[in-house]
């Protein structure tokens, strides 16, 4: 089973984690158009590629970001929100 490197708990099998989805920036709900809002709520980026995602280690409650290449099936790095990636 694939390993995911939790920034706090280290590498663990995927079954210890919950995948929330790709990090998406919320548009300003007071000023954006209906179209922009609907796009944010309902549309998802389906194309394979490098994505930033929210992941959760269930046993410890740690939320973190994983940068994952969904085409190569490779997790490039993981970090706590706010800590930022080591490279763009």
Partner 1 sequence: MSAVRSSPLHSAHEALKPMWITLNHMPIPLQFVPHEDVARQKLGLADVSFLSRFGVKGPGAGDWLRSQGVTPPAEINHWDAIEENGLVARLASTEFLVEDGLEGVTAARLAAALGRGLPGVTPVFRQDASIAITGSEINSLLVQTCNVNFNSFPMNERRLVMTSMTGISVLVIRKLSDGVPLYRIWCDGTFGACLWKTLLQVSQELGGAAIGINSLYPDLAKLKALSLR
Partner 2 sequence: MSKRLPQVSGEWIDRSQPIAFRFEGRDYSGFVGDTISSALMACGVKVMGRSFKYHRTRGVLSMANHDVNVMVQDGARLNMRGDVTPLEAGMDLRAVNTFGGLAKDKARILDYLSAFLPVGFYYKAFHSPKFLVHAWEKLFRALTGLGRVDFNAPRIKTPKQYDFTDVLVIGSGPSGLSAAISAANAGAKVVVVDEQAGVGGWLGYNRGGQHDSSAILQGLLKTIAAQPNIDVRLSTIASGYYADHWVPLVDAKRMTKMRARAVVVASGAYDQPAVFRNNDLPGIMMASAAQRLIYRYAVQPASEVVVLAANTEGYRTAVNLHNHGVKVVALVDLRPEGESTPYAGAVAALGIDILVGHCIYEATPTSNNDGVRAAVICPRNAEGVVDTTVQSVLACDGIFMSVGWAPAAPLLYQAGTRMRYATHVHQFVPDVLPAGVFAAGRVNGVYDLTQKLKDGERAGQAAAAHVGLGSGPSVSVAPEAVSPSHPYPFVDHPNGKNFVDFDEDLQLKDFYNAAQEGFDNIELMKRFTTVGMGPSQGKHSNMNAIRVLAKITQKPIQEVGTTTARPFFHPVPLSHLAGRSFYPERLTPLQSRHESAGAVFMQAGAWLRPEYYGAAGVTREGAIAAEVQAVRTGVALIDVGTLGKMEVFGPDAGEFLERIYVGRYSNMKVGATRYAVMVDEAGVVIDDGVVAKLGDNHFYFTTTTTGSATVYREMTRLNTQWGLNVGIVNVTGSFAGMNLAGPLSRKVLAALTSMDVSEAGFPYLAVREGDVAGVPARLMRVGFIGELGYEIHIPATYAAHVWDEIMKAGAGFNIRPFGVEAQRLLRLEKGHIIVSQDTDGLTSPFDAAMSWAVKLDKPFFVGQRSLKILNEKARKQVLVGFAVPGSYRGPALKESHLVIDGQRIIGRITSVAFSESLGHFIGLMFIEMAQSAVGSHCKIRVDGKLVEATVVKTPFYDPEGARQKLEESA
State yes or no: residue 18 binds partner 2 (CB under 8 A): yes
Residues 54, 20: contact at Cβ < 8 Å? yes
Indicate which of partner 2, partner 1, none lies near residue 83 (CB less than 5 to 8 Å, by partner kind).
Answer: none
Give residues with Cβ within 8 angstroms of 19, minimum separation 6.
53, 54, 55, 56
Residues that bind partner 1 (CB under 8 A): 8-9, 12-13, 15-16, 57-62
Residues 8, 57: contact at Cβ < 8 Å? yes
What residues line the site for partner 2 (CB under 8 A)? 1-3, 13, 18, 20, 29-30, 32, 34, 37, 40-42, 54, 56, 61, 63, 73, 81-82
């Amino acid at each position: 089973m694939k390993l995911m490197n939790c920034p706090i708990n280290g590498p663990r099998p995927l079954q210890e984690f919950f995948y929330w989805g790709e990090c998406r920036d919320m548009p300003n709900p007071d000023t954006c158009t209906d179209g922009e809002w609907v796009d944010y709520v309902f549309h998802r980026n389906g194309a394979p590629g490098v994505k930033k995602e929210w992941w959760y280690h269930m046993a410890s409650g740690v939320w973190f970001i994983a940068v994952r290449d969904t085409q190569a099936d490779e997790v490039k790095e993981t970090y706590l929100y706010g800590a930022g990636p080591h490279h763009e």
